[in-house]
Structure 1
Amino acid sequence: MKKRDVETTGHEWDGIEELNNPLPRWWLWVFYATIVWGIGYTIAYPAWPGIRSATAGVMGWSTRANIAEDIAAATAANAEITARLAETPLTEIAADPVLDGFARNSGGAVFRTWCAQCHGSGAAGAKGYPNLLDDEWLWGGSIEAIHESIQHGIRNDQSDMARYSEMPAFGEILEDDEIDQVVNYVMSLSGEPREADLVAAGGDVFADNCSACHGAAGEGDQSLGAPNLSNAVWLYGGDYETIRHTVEYSRYGVMPAWQDRLSDAEIAAVATYVHGLGGGE
């Protein structure tokens, strides 16, 4: 058979040359069609990015607009029950199965959107962020108390009604040996102190400096946001070094006020959701 006279690409590997055969005609036409389609697409739909936005396209199509329409439709469909949720007293929501179910589901969505970043997707909290699943509440675990915490927040400058308390930095008040004593006393309330011989003296330091907020027995005071020190639940950690750091430098956790970000119904819903996780009083 006579060899075809076809130019090569000039590439050769181990004596094997690459022939420069023309592309199939059908493939070329498909390729040209994709170019034409691409040009038409960039004209019809949003495509070319700019400094502030992309070209809008002559058809005015927008994924954001589609999502906004879907949200508006869902909002309209839930308008009646949302209004009921905002108007119903918090303690009466659970008595209405339909309203309670809506509140828990919508509250779960609000929680996962706005609260999970700090409290965790399962609401178990993290160091410095309260666990919402247990029975230990700094400011109270009733549904009304939870609602107030969500609405106004903690130690923020957004709401005049934010819950507020401030622990002094006792490193500026007590001597180092007094701090060691009171830390060992606090550890003895819920477990074993590091130095048992300092506990008695630490009790005196505690009575003079800490009992006004934490109580004579260290059981805390929810009206002040003062934690219970007589159990093994610790927000920042219960080891000696962590407690000493807390006593010496204090802690100052801040929670934003959600009253300007969430609607009344959304706050009621997420309060219902959190209260129903198992730790609500």
Structure 2
Amino acid sequence: MADNKEVDQISGVETTGHEWDGIKELNNPLPRWWLWTFYATCLWAFAYWIVMPAWPLISSHTAGVLGYSSREQLAKTVATAREAQSVYLNRIEDASLEEIVADSELLEFALAGGGSAFAVNCSQCHGRGAAGYVGYPNLNDDDWIWGGSLEAISHAIHFGIRSDHEETRFNEMPAYGRDELLTREEINDVAEYVLALSGSGEDAAAAARGEVTFAEQCSACHMENGEGNYELGAPNLSDAIWLYGGDKSAVVESITNSRAGMMPAWTGRLDEATIKQLAVYVHSLGGGE
């Protein structure tokens, strides 16, 4: 048999005798270290099947000799974390908002917890960085509809805005066009006056006419100079910050059909400590009063 061995002339390696379309297969066995590694992984896999949960059954799975459960491990980890946090959470629940802000240790914990709670519960509307969108207030600036103090923010989180909670803040702007309270021309004039309050009006004559209508129809909520009223949730119209857009078409739309944004009440959904942390976090974003 030895005389029948063939050696490849180019590589000097013995062939296996197999040939396909003139291509001969060389007899290059795998390195010993590779084979032993492969055997070791097979043994490791077999041992893993025995000691760890591995095989699916009809309604469950094999528990394994060790009885390990990632679900139980996670539950233990969460329980340990909650126990470590409970000291701070209990203190936050018992403290007032002002006391939390005055305590550097509690403040640091509240800011971290509030940021996490905001990402889970609030960022879907107000944005990841709390910059808001059209119809959803920016919480980073100093422009507030219902007030930016710790108490005002806490109240808004607790009971919402125009929510179904009996203590919610509620005020509704009339739909001056839809309900035919003002004519189209009067709405146009009021829009020009509102834009003039923030320095962006273009028609002085229309703004002058709109000032009279504004005093009669709008100043009761938005105040005489359009600076707004926290108690009524009437936005400040004299700055350059707009919730639904500051061009004329957006202002006309607001006057014609009204705006009635809604925020849910978080009482009953979040515990008191989490709501306090959220209030402290939102207040810290830069626009809190």
Taking structure 1 as the reference length, the TM-score comes to 0.82
**1:136 — aligned with what?**
143
**2:173 — aligned with what?**
167
**2:103 — aligned with what?**
96
What is the alpha-carbon distance in structure 2 between the residues aligned to residue 258 and residue 55 of structure 1?
40
What is the alpha-carbon distance in structure 1 between the residues aligned to residue 199 and residue 57 of structure 2?
62
Listed as ranges, the gaps of 5+ residues in structure 1 are none
AA at the equivalent of 1:208? E
AA at the equivalent of 2:271? S
Q: 1:240/1:18 Cα in 2 relative to 1: closer, same or farther (>3 Å)?
A: farther
**2:223 — aligned with what?**
215
User: Offset at 1:265?
Assistant: 1.0
What is the alpha-carbon distance in structure 2 between the residues aligned to residue 17 and residue 154 of structure 1?
81
Q: 1:206/1:63 Cα in 2 relative to 1: closer, same or farther (>3 Å)?
A: farther
Is the partner of 2:232 in helix, strand or coil?
Answer: coil
**1:79 — aligned with what?**
86
What is the alpha-carbon distance in structure 2 between the residues aligned to residue 154 and residue 251 of structure 1?
13
CA contact (8 A) 2:15 2:25 kept: no
Greater mean alpha carbon deviation, residues 67-76 or residues 180-189? 67-76
Equivalent residue for 2:6, pick from 2, 9, 12: 2
Report sequence identity in percent: 50
Q: 1:5/1:57 Cα in 2 relative to 1: closer, same or farther (>3 Å)?
A: same
User: Offset at 1:29?
Assistant: 7.6
**1:118 — aligned with what?**
125
**2:10 — aligned with what?**
none
User: Offset at 1:68?
Assistant: 2.6
What is the alpha-carbon distance in structure 2 between the residues aligned to residue 190 and residue 6 of structure 1?
89
User: Offset at 1:128?
Assistant: 1.8
**1:193 — aligned with what?**
201
User: Offset at 1:222?
Assistant: 0.8
**1:65 — aligned with what?**
72
What is the alpha-carbon distance in structure 2 between the residues aligned to residue 249 and residue 9 of structure 1?
84
Larger radius of gyration: 2
1:107 aligns with 2:149: no
Listed as ranges, the gaps of 5+ residues in structure 2 are 8-13
1:228 aligns with 2:247: no
What is the alpha-carbon distance in structure 1 between the residues aligned to residue 49 and residue 176 of structure 2?
65
Greater mean alpha carbon deviation, residues 176-185 or residues 225-234? 176-185
AA at the equivalent of 1:271? A
Greater mean alpha carbon deviation, residues 128-137 or residues 168-177? 168-177
Greater mean alpha carbon deviation, residues 168-177 or residues 256-265? 168-177
Q: 1:56/1:261 Cα in 2 relative to 1: closer, same or farther (>3 Å)?
A: farther
CA RMSD of the aligned region, Å?
Answer: 3.1
What is the alpha-carbon distance in structure 2 between the residues aligned to residue 5 and residue 221 of structure 1?
93
1:266 aligns with 2:251: no
Is the partner of 1:248 in helix, strand or coil?
Answer: helix
User: Offset at 1:139?
Assistant: 0.8
CA contact (8 A) 2:162 2:262 kept: yes
User: Offset at 1:38?
Assistant: 5.2
Greater mean alpha carbon deviation, residues 19-28 or residues 165-174? 19-28
AA at the equivalent of 2:258? S
What is the alpha-carbon distance in structure 2 between the residues aligned to residue 167 and residue 9 of structure 1?
88
User: Offset at 1:146?
Assistant: 0.7
Q: How many correspondences in the alignment?
A: 276
User: Offset at 1:278?
Assistant: 2.2
